Amino acid sequence: MSFVVNIFLICSYLLLLPLPSASHPLCLDSKAPFRPKIPLEFCPNDESVCCDSNQELELKKAFQSMNISHPACASLVKSILCAKCNRFSADLFGIDTGTRTVPVLCTISEKSIVSNTSSNDFCSNVWEACKAEPIINSPFMPSLQSRTKVPVSSTPSILTDTCHSKSDFCRLFGRTSEDKLVCFNGTSTLLHNTENPQPPSGICLEQVTSGPYLYMDAHPDGSNRVFLASQQGKIWLATVPEEGNGEEMVIDESNLFVDLTDTVHVDTEFGLLSVAFHPRFVQNGRFFASYICDGDQWSGCSGRCACNTDVNCDPSKLPPVFGSRACRFHVTVSEFTANSSASDPASAIHLKYLYFLTGDGETELDPYNHAQNKKSMLGKLLRLDVDNIPSATELSKRSAWGNYSIPSDNPYIYDKGSLPEIWALGLRNPWRCSFDSERPSYFLCVDSGKDQYEEVNIVMKGGNYGWPYFEGDFPFHSLNSSGGKNNMNSTDFISHVMGYDHSQANTNEGSSSIADLYGFAMWAGTENPENSGNFTSGKVLFGCAHDSPLQCKLGKTHPQGPHLNLNYVYSMGMDNRKDIFLLTSNGVLRISRPSRCNYKCSKEKFTGFQVPRHSHSYEAGTDIKGSQTGSGVKDSQISFSLFFYSFLFLFLHFTL
């Protein structure tokens, strides 16, 4: 299967994602909190909320049906119901499992009681006030803890009928400060882990290889191997040594895993973009590659253009792209299957969703208002189901852009005026995106600005991130897009979580990256306090470890020491140890322990790593030539086309 996209400038990335969990502001429907148009009365809140007036009315009716006579218990239960409107409701009610009818209640542990540690014990207050109170349709019924909604019943229940003590009740519904996660205290959400982390005094690097690789991905088998890709379309397997042992990364460049050079079009901005492997790649052999192709050079490089009548765009009136006709260059996402994979039906895991980010379609402004136009694929995050493939007849009926179906919970699936593929909008030029490895619902995306600001967003369902109305916090100075001013004041834009003004960075070179590397410092962000969703950003020094396996290249001397000559930073990667690597034109560098460069970091830990043993593996040497079937690999393709003038960010989201 392949998805083909016409482009002007492009960059892409494919990523694997485990099940979600969160501690940042997020609603139960995976959307961002908002300011309601009509202030809430039953569940008043001065902050952004997750309920509108209709949802609040449903909560009020549910509360009235409970018929609670005890005033103290009634007040507490009301606050518990209203927690669904809390901006942290996703975490309070367990969006990762979807099984709670009661939010996590703040309580204290036996350890805290013994040490007289002061803490909010809302859970105990609920028990004492409600333990003997009959409640109809009680959310505390144990039989409801595997459901998300309370069924209608006329029979009241009492807490003491099912919980023998306060300890039993709070073990079931509470969470202590030692858990270091969020809980509900009756009026607001407490972030138990309120430590204010300090960034390290510097970031220490070690160079492990000198090759200019564009993309890196950990092998799904959990071993110490990674895949490295070049811009030209070649992919190798490499063995990564443990950090600090003085060994280089081992790459056999004569033994290719994949070769796509026959179909990849290479230019300054073009080439192989990324590769993704199914989480069960060891069993099913499925993997995906995205790359640029040239429609004038390869007959298979074709597809639908995003400049079309739906968005009032005429391709014949578009200016030349790199001196060539519009819609000539495409990005193709091809799915391949390695024949050497083993069959394991009992533990088969299905590929779920593909998230696909696109630029707004223009090099300068956005005259077609693509980023805000819900009929356009551009300036969006698209969410596709590439596991449940409709028939050819069904695809033709709905004019699909490719071989995929629409997830049933996409925000605009029932909106006839919008493309059902859209998950979020209002993006200008999304560059690199990353799911936090410990909190995967932290989907952090860099959006490159036009003139003033580079921003990082936490992207959420149905979110609108403001372009072209805003560039960071700045109203965009050229609001001449078609319809650009019509909805500017009537849309709930989600602000970025961190970023920087161009005046704060390297004004001579410019910057468009979450990590702005220019010789001696890295532009980095810190969440403060942890789990709050609030970030600050600033410069952090970086240097090279004195015992680096390869000598880092040095540049000009600075008062704080010689600059590292990283040249171009293409991307970042992570291995199965969760070590982070910088992929630069001067080689691959690993972020190592700060102490190796005499930097200090309060969170530096020393942990061992044991390579797991596996019964299945993949050897280098698998040969793929474009759309042809290589040795041991099958490739299926279907076209999916977009035209735009800006960067495109592409990746796959797999769930277990």
CA distance 197 to 230: 37
Crossing angle of the two packed helices 71-82 and 122-130, in degrees rounded to 10: 130
In a domain, 628, yes or no: no
CA distance 163 to 545: 58
What does the pLDDT look like over 7-28, one tens digit per residue? Answer: 322 333 333 333 333 357 889 8
Mean pLDDT of 592-600: 89
pLDDT at 522: 62
In a domain, 12, yes or no: no
pLDDT at 610: 39
What does the pLDDT look like over 91-126, one tens digit per residue? Answer: 888 876 656 889 999 988 655 443 444 457 899 999
Mean pLDDT of 114-139: 81
Q: Which amino acid is at 263?
A: T
The CATH code of the domain that includes 363 is 2.120.10.30
Q: How many residues does the chain have?
A: 656
pLDDT at 117: 43
Q: Do 336 and 228 have their domain in common?
A: yes
Q: Do 248 and 348 have their domain in common?
A: yes
Structure tokens that stand for 584 in this block: 């630069």
What does the pLDDT look like over 610-622, one tens digit per residue? Answer: 333 333 333 333 3
Provide the pLDDT confidence category of residue 339 given band limits of 50, 70 and 90.
low
pTM for this entry: 0.77
DSSP state at residue 502: G
Q: What residues contact residue 212 under an 8 Å CB cut-off, 6+ apart?
A: 230, 231, 570, 584, 585, 586, 587
Q: Which amino acid is at 415?
A: D
What does the pLDDT look like over 43-58, one tens digit per residue? Answer: 998 888 999 999 999 9
Task: Please give the radius of gyration of the chain, using alpha carbons only, rounded to the nearest integer.
Answer: 26
Q: Domain range for residue 169?
A: 26-176
Provide the pLDDT confidence category of residue 605 given band limits of 50, 70 and 90.
low
In a domain, 592, yes or no: yes
> Lowest-confidence range among 18-27, 233-242, 283-292, 319-328?
18-27
What does the pLDDT look like over 624-653, one tens digit per residue? Answer: 333 333 334 555 443 333 333 233 333 433
In a domain, 603, yes or no: no
Structure tokens that stand for 412 in this block: 């605009």
Looking at 543, 564, 597, the residue that finishes a domain is 597
Q: Do 171 and 207 have their domain in common?
A: no
Mean pLDDT of 514-531: 56
Question: Ranked by mean pLDDT, which of 179-188, 219-228, 340-349 comes out on top?
Answer: 219-228
For 97, half-sphere exposure in the C-beta direction (CA atoms, 13 angstrom radius) is 10
Residues 439, 440, 441, 444, CA torsion sign: positive
Crossing angle of the two packed helices 166-173 and 122-130, in degrees rounded to 10: 130
- Which candidate, 207, 202, 203, places its Cα nearest to that of 589? 207
Q: Do 565 and 521 have their domain in common?
A: yes
Q: Do 235 and 89 have their domain in common?
A: no
pLDDT at 442: 78
Q: What residues contact residue 275 under an 8 Å CB cut-off, 6+ apart?
A: 14, 215, 217, 227, 229, 235, 258, 287, 288, 289, 290
Percent with pLDDT over 90 in the chain: 28
- Residue bearing the bigger pLDDT, 285 or 561: 285
Given a cut of 90, whether residue 487 has pLDDT beyond it is no
Q: Do 146 and 247 have their domain in common?
A: no
> Lowest-confidence range among 105-119, 269-283, 508-522?
508-522
- Which candidate, 458, 427, 428, places its Cα nearest to that of 442? 458
Structure tokens that stand for 552 in this block: 């880092």
**How many CB atoms neighbour CB 399 within 10 A?**
8
What does the pLDDT look like over 161-202, one tens digit per residue? Answer: 888 899 999 988 988 756 656 889 988 887 655 556 677 788
Q: Do 421 and 275 have their domain in common?
A: yes
> Lowest-confidence range among 25-39, 139-153, 382-396, 544-558?
139-153
pLDDT at 525: 67
Looking at 142, 176, 210, the residue that finishes a domain is 176
Q: How many domains does the chain have?
A: 2
Dihedrals phi, psi of 128, to nearest 5 degrees: -65, -35
Looking at 568, 597, 626, the residue that finishes a domain is 597
pLDDT at 13: 36
Mean pLDDT of 444-448: 84
CA distance 403 to 628: 19
Q: What residues contact residue 577 under an 8 Å CB cut-off, 6+ apart?
A: 224, 240, 242, 243, 609
Mean pLDDT of 483-489: 53
Q: Do 151 and 231 have their domain in common?
A: no
Q: Do 344 and 401 have their domain in common?
A: yes
CA distance 216 to 243: 17
Q: Do 449 and 391 have their domain in common?
A: yes
- Residue bearing the bigger pLDDT, 434 or 11: 434
Q: Which amino acid is at 566?
A: L
Structure tokens that stand for 206 in this block: 């070690």
pLDDT at 608: 43
Q: Do 251 and 162 have their domain in common?
A: no
Q: Which amino acid is at 609?
A: F
- Residue bearing the bigger pLDDT, 360 or 576: 576
In a domain, 639, yes or no: no
In a domain, 632, yes or no: no
In a domain, 497, yes or no: yes
Peptide bond into 18 cis (omega under 30): no
Q: Which amino acid is at 256?
A: L
Contact (CB, 8 A) for 552 and 587: no
- Residue bearing the bigger pLDDT, 128 or 514: 128
Distance, CA of 90 to chain centre: 16
pLDDT at 224: 95
Provide the pLDDT confidence category of residue 253 given band limits of 50, 70 and 90.
confident
Q: Which amino acid is at 11?
A: C
Q: What residues contact residue 529 under an 8 Å CB cut-off, 6+ apart?
A: 191, 193, 194, 195, 196, 197
Mean pLDDT of 435-442: 73
Q: Do 165 and 229 have their domain in common?
A: no
What string of DSSP letters covers 570-638? EEEEE-TT--EEEEETTEEEEEE-GGGGT---TT-------PPP-S----TT-B--TTS--BTEEEE--
> Lowest-confidence range among 17-31, 61-75, 416-430, 431-445?
17-31
Mean pLDDT of 28-54: 90
In a domain, 648, yes or no: no
pLDDT, the chain, mean = 75
Given a cut of 70, whether residue 418 has pLDDT beyond it is yes
Provide the pLDDT confidence category of residue 136 given band limits of 50, 70 and 90.
very high
Distance, CA of 644 to chain centre: 23
Q: What residues contact residue 349 under an 8 Å CB cut-off, 6+ apart?
A: 279, 280, 656
